Structure 1
Amino acid sequence: MLRITAASLLALIIVLPAMAADMTGSIARVKPSIVVVGTYQKTASPQFAMRGTGFVVTSGNLAATNAHVIPEDTGPDAPALVIRTRGTDGQPQLRPARVVGRDPDRDLAVLRFEGPPLPAVELSDSDAAREGQMIGFTGFPIGGALGFSPVTHHGMIASITPITLPGSAARQLNEKAIRQIKRGAFDIFQLDATAYPGNSGSPVFDAASGEVIGIINMVFIKGSKESALSQPSGISYAIPANYLKRLLDTL
């Protein structure tokens, strides 16, 4: 039989408000750095198409996101790569962007965008992350269907595990998995939190400090993308931020 003592209740009363206050402050620090990554084409309808989430790093004119968010078509007739943010007047604005760094093996990309610098997040040493660590992540779930106001979800690091896991049968290993095994597996964060399509590229930050420890890159959902709202059963994964640091060091 579970017994709850007066001391344990007092501890909860003290700790829970402190945790909520920490998350409130962390969201306030991270939110101004969140941008929408998408494409713009004047003749298209709609003209702007969202592809994922990004967040501002280093000097304030660079944004990190997933490599898979970046469109493959870069020809002269292709839609222009842009980020969507808000100006000082609070109105949405589109800024031209270009890819300046890419790590496809770890699904990372860095964009340089035009215009005044934006507030940048603080990148943490992701090697110090631990299972059970409380986290949040901010982005644009369901591909902007809920609007372009950043949304924050919270949870914890459920597991730190290699991205390539051995299958019980050879048929479970596809070509991409085999290539990854040959290159060598690397650790990835599995999150006890539900991300959605559109959260790709969202920063995963420590709940207490607001420092970014990872980047959302995979969401597994039962059923179709359209059923994500009615069946929020996603298992979310994030790339550790130290790989982003290494990519930024090459620029």
Structure 2
Amino acid sequence: MKKILGITVLAAFIGGAAAIGGYKLFERNQTGSTISEKQNLYFANNPLKVTSAGAADFTQAAAAVAPGVVHIKTTYSTSDKSQGSSSPFDMMEDFFGGGGRQMQRQPRAASGSGVIISQDGYIVTNNHVVENAEKVEVVLTDRRKVEAKVIGRDPNTDLALIKVNATGLPVVKMGNSDNVQVGEWVLAVGFPLDLQTTVTAGIVSAKNRSIGIIGREQQGNEITEEEYREYQRTGKRPERPANTSIESFIQTDAAINPGNSGGALVNANGELVGINSAIASQSGYNQGYGFAIPVNLARKIVDDFMKYGSVKRGYIGVNFVPLSGDEKPEGIKTSEVSGLYVNDVVAKGAAEAAGLKSGDVIKKVDGIVINDSPDLQERVGRLNPGDKVKLTVLRDGALKDYTVTLKGEASINPNANTAATKSVEVSKLGATFVPATLAQKSKLGINSGVVVTSVTTGKAFDNIGVEKGLIITKVNGQPVNSVTDVQKALPQTRNGMVYMSGVTGQGTFNFSFPAQ
């Protein structure tokens, strides 16, 4: 009897130790380093009880997702009012074009949506929802209001990651956007037009759709009179920053309106497949053309923000033109009507190292047939420098595979990771500058900038209170990445005034002063 009792006590002890050890392991894993680990852990203990047999009944999916979609309210300083780029309406308004009604730009308060992706408060939304915001407030579905911190913004994909100081939050399960099919039922969940949680249904209308909106937001479209005269005189096109935007939207006819930005696009199983981002409309409201960022791309951006604080993006190092049956641009020598025609290979870039040449036609990426820019951009956009990608290339009538090891931004912009070692003075401003580094730009979510390294007492910058450390992103509406850019943009005044935009870790600033 004593022997049996001893065995029982020993077994109980071992079982208790295993339980405690298991709990400690679970506790440690609660702080998973990637969003995928956090999601796997959460849904291992909280299975998503949703099934779909193809019937158009979305009650389970809506009930599972709605608690994890939040209302985001942003406020802006008065000085930001002239900037006109932070409202969730702005990105859509630019796509509406001149045919639609004019919306008020840069309101003092605006709103959008966000998706909770971890119990400990990480929320994914659009960059344009939180860009330039002085304060970001999240209204949870239980009506609690909590202030959020912006962890990272990526203008290249229009994604942002924010975090609230809360635990035990409902989580929306990330699905696989590669599995999304045209014609599949989807739900859009968000807070349109300042309404409470709203669920709409539709189908996937198209995939890998590019509408050019992020590239326009990133680079700007205006050409100054001076640039145009120079173009007429020399035939040289005005220089613009490299377009590194990634657009490969899921298009849907589920009703999406202003305020849905940053909300969830989910499948009938209640899985997140996209982050709603923009609409195409002449009225400013839903006309059946909504666009969402694929969740597989969003997952990479979020993980980078959590690991590094910025996005680590890999580049192939080619310039290409999508082929079609239309008349081909001058200089393209191929009879092919599909694929991406390589018209330039970046010197010392990843593609050149792998053996690609100008005139090649890229037909596949990792075995997947590609026909347009988004097919390539979105797949490569999920990868990091050092990752390998297999390109199937048509050359001289034969297909050949090349393994390309992606390189960082320095491979396409040699000055991307370093600033000039010596500050350069702009006497008219009474200040010295160096180019902002890639790390600074990525951390602040900007695509251009020069850093103020010193200010001379009694000169223009000192008189208006500009301090050392401010990053100037635009001068007279022109993006600036060097002192030369600043000097070229300064004469482009309006009504005798110089207009500048700047950013620090505390927010965005817009200011103006009389031209000298």
Q: TM-score, normalised by structure 1?
A: 0.71
Matched, 1:65 2:125: yes
Deviates more, 1:49-58 or 1:27-36: 49-58
User: In 2, distance between residues paired with 1:29 and 1:102?
Assistant: 27
CA contact (8 A) 2:68 2:141 kept: no
Higher strand proportion: 1
- Structure 2 CA distance for partners of 1:186 and 1:222, relative to 1, 3 Å: closer
CA contact (8 A) 2:188 2:255 kept: no
Q: How far apart are residue 49 of structure 1 and its match?
A: 4.3
Residues 1-23 of structure 1: per-residue CA shift (max 9 Å, x gap): xxxxxxxxxxxxxxx996233x1
User: In 2, distance between residues paired with 1:25 and 1:201?
Assistant: 22
Matched, 1:198 2:259: yes
What are the equivalent positions in structure 2 for 1:22-37 lying under 5 Å apart?
23-37=58-72
CA contact (8 A) 1:160 1:190 kept: yes
Residues 195-246 of structure 1: per-residue CA shift (max 9 Å, x gap): 1001111110002x100000110012222x4xx3xxx424110100011110
CA contact (8 A) 1:200 1:217 kept: yes
Matched, 1:235 2:289: yes
Runs (5+) with no aligned partner, structure 1: 1-15, 42-47, 75-79, 166-171
Q: What count of residue pairs does the alignment treat as equivalent? A: 203
User: In 2, distance between residues paired with 1:56 and 1:32?
Assistant: 9
User: In 1, distance between residues paired with 2:240 and 2:294?
Assistant: 20
User: In 2, distance between residues paired with 1:190 and 1:18?
Assistant: 20
Tell me the amino acid that sits aligned with residue 130 of structure 1: Q
- Please name the residue that 1:7 is paired with: none
What are the equivalent positions in structure 2 for 1:58-207 lying under 5 Å apart?
58-74=118-134, 80-87=135-142, 92-142=143-193, 144=194, 147-148=195-196, 150-164=197-211, 175-176=219-220, 182-183=243-244, 185-207=246-268
User: In 2, distance between residues paired with 1:233 and 1:40?
Assistant: 28
User: In 2, distance between residues paired with 1:65 and 1:106?
Assistant: 11
Matched, 1:215 2:270: no
- Please name the residue that 1:6 is paired with: none
Q: TM-score, normalised by structure 2?
A: 0.36
Matched, 1:19 2:55: yes
User: In 2, distance between residues paired with 1:96 and 1:210?
Assistant: 27
SS at match of 1:64: strand
- Please name the residue that 1:5 is paired with: none
CA contact (8 A) 1:162 1:185 kept: no
Q: How far apart are residue 248 of structure 1 and its match?
A: 2.1
CA contact (8 A) 2:275 2:295 kept: yes
User: In 1, distance between residues paired with 2:244 and 2:192?
Assistant: 32
Q: How far apart are residue 128 of structure 1 and its match?
A: 1.5
SS at match of 1:152: strand
CA contact (8 A) 2:120 2:166 kept: no
- Structure 2 CA distance for partners of 1:185 and 1:137, relative to 1, 3 Å: same
Runs (5+) with no aligned partner, structure 2: 1-51, 77-107, 222-238, 307-516
CA contact (8 A) 1:196 1:234 kept: no
Q: How far apart are residue 188 of structure 1 and its match?
A: 1.3
User: In 2, distance between residues paired with 1:221 and 1:117?
Assistant: 38
Deviates more, 1:57-66 or 1:27-36: 57-66
CA contact (8 A) 1:124 1:211 kept: yes
SS at match of 1:20: coil
Deviates more, 1:118-127 or 1:183-192: 183-192
- Structure 2 CA distance for partners of 1:184 and 1:109, relative to 1, 3 Å: closer
Tell me the amino acid that sits aligned with residue 118 of structure 2: T
- Please name the residue that 1:44 is paired with: none
- Please name the residue that 2:303 is paired with: 249
Q: Identity percentage over the alignment?
A: 26
CA contact (8 A) 2:67 2:141 kept: no
- Structure 2 CA distance for partners of 1:136 and 1:62, relative to 1, 3 Å: same
User: In 2, distance between residues paired with 1:179 and 1:134?
Assistant: 40
Q: Which has the larger radius of gyration?
A: 2
Tell me the amino acid that sits aligned with residue 66 of structure 2: K
With a CA cutoff of 8 Å and minimum separation of 6, indicate the structure with the bigger relative contact order: 1
Q: How far apart are residue 40 of structure 1 and its match?
A: 6.0
Provide the alpha-carbon RMSD of the alignment: 3.0
Q: How far apart are residue 185 of structure 1 and its match?
A: 4.9
SS at match of 1:19: coil
